[in-house]
Amino acid sequence: MTSYIFKQFFRNRGYLSALVFLLIAGIMAIYTGKNFLDRNQDIIEKSRLFQQESIDKNVTYHKDDLGLILYYVKFNWINETPQLAALSIGMRDLNPSIQGVTIRNLEEQRYNSDFYNPANAAAGNFDFSFVLVFIFPLIIVAFCYNLISEEEESGRWKLLSVQCRSLARFIDCKFLVRVLAISIIYLLLIAIATIWIDIPMDKNFLYFILSGWLYLLFWFALCRFVISFRKSSAYNALILLTVWIGLNFIIPMGSNMAIQKIFPVKEGLKAVMEQREGYHNKWYEAKLPTMEKFYKAYPQFKQFKINESDSFSWTWYYAMQHMGDLEAAASSEQYIAKMQKRNQAAVVLGYFFPNIHTQLTENDLAQSGMENHLAFGSALKKFHEKKRLFFYPLIFSGKDADSVNWKLQIREVFRQPTKINSVALFLPYVFIIILFILLSQNNIRKL
């Protein structure tokens, strides 16, 4: 019986056409991811040349004024992009993979990154994750919505009930053939991506593959549950497509609106405004109070004194710049905290909706989600402070460009440590798949 069902499925030109379409869509998605990686790598390489050219030019023109050189020179902080990000681009096209900062104020600079962003204007990405979450389920629905109703509507059901020892086994065999066909296409696409993009077969990639496959099994389990009620083909198709629209559009959009309402984020713009006002106002205020606050933050620089009567001093200027950041620090921390709460709310929501869970999980595994963005921003702050504390003593001492070994001032790379909670990753899939199988089992047995 299994061999007959297998032959019947693969002789159907409609099914074969759907599988070919799915394969082509997946290859196109992989191509999109490969292009994204290539563009990103090209931008990273150009940033190295740009930084070196900027240093050389400013050192040539302002050799005797280190403070002026560092007013212009930007140091690049790179968010390492793993090869796996090609399959799940996530937020990587909206957030910069490179952040260039001077040693001046940070809060304003961290939002001025369009120049470094390789795809900031993209409206969206037809990546592998998109194909997995949106297109694979449609093909699964098309394969499964009429497994029982087609036999009943064609008049073959009575004949099958006489010839088959177990109609339940017959239906499950038809399901297994479809699971096998979809799984073959899925694994074939994974193999193509592995070779084409040269993705390392590490733990993240293995979890990525398994989470995607479990998501496909969820849709098969859902289809089994819906058709087990033996409704008409039109009714089954309507219900399954309604669920697909609800899961992929209505629930995510509604949840996003609710999360934004519960955790409104205004602190990002507020931090920028506070930072700008913080240092702009210092031009019209007394210098010594600013310096006292700076010395309190960095007591190691107390030896570099300035007078109120001084017309201009780089010591006072960079102290003033940092005071702007300090005045915006509270708003900046509130912004980060709310973004973390938003992300956590989305993670909790994903425990109940496999499509959201799959997108968040695969973005995290590919280091292209919100957690990576926040971690990169936190590391950027430390990178900026390290640069400031290295150059402050040289600037404050009146050193010139020759006091710095500029060859050591190269771009630096942020690598996010891998943290995978396998229970939180797989349990939502396993639970809901088993739930739908158990709920449909009673109806299938009655066949």
Q: What is the mean pLDDT of residues 122-130?
A: 75
For residues 277 and 379, what is the distance between their CA atoms, to the nearest angstrom? 25
DSSP 169-194: HHHHHHHHHHHHHHHHHHHHHHHHHH
Spell out the residues 6+ positions from residue 73 whose beta carbon is closer than 8 angstroms to its own.
51, 54, 55, 58, 102
Give the closest residue to 26 by CA, choosing from 214, 194, 161: 194
For residues 438 and 243, what is the distance between their CA atoms, to the nearest angstrom? 19
- Per-residue confidence band for 119, with pLDDT thresholds at 50, 70 and 90: very low
Domain locations along the chain? 1-447
Give the closest residue to 244 by CA, choosing from 328, 355, 165, 148: 355
Helix (H) or strand (E) holding 106: none
Given a cut of 50, whether residue 278 has pLDDT beyond it is yes
% of the chain exceeding 70 in pLDDT:
93
398: exposed, middle or buried (Cβ count in 10 Å: 0-12, 13-18, 19+): middle
Cβ density class 281-302: b for 16+ within 10 Å, e for less: ebeeeebeebbeebbeeeeebe
For residues 71 and 55, what is the distance between their CA atoms, to the nearest angstrom? 11
Summarised one tens digit per residue, pLDDT across range 6-20 is 888 888 999 999 999
Q: Are residues 101 and 78 in contact, defined by beta-carbon separation less than 8 angstroms? A: no
What is the reported pLDDT for 376? 94
* DSSP 8-class letter at 160: H
The one-letter code for the residue type at 239 is I
Q: Residue count of the chain, please give it.
A: 447
Q: What is the mean pLDDT of residues 365-390?
A: 94
What is the reported pLDDT for 279? 66
What is the reported pLDDT for 7? 85
Side by side, which strands form the sheet with 98-101? Answer: 98-101, 75-79, 412-414
Helix 203-227 crosses helix 422-445 at what angle (to 10 degrees)? 20
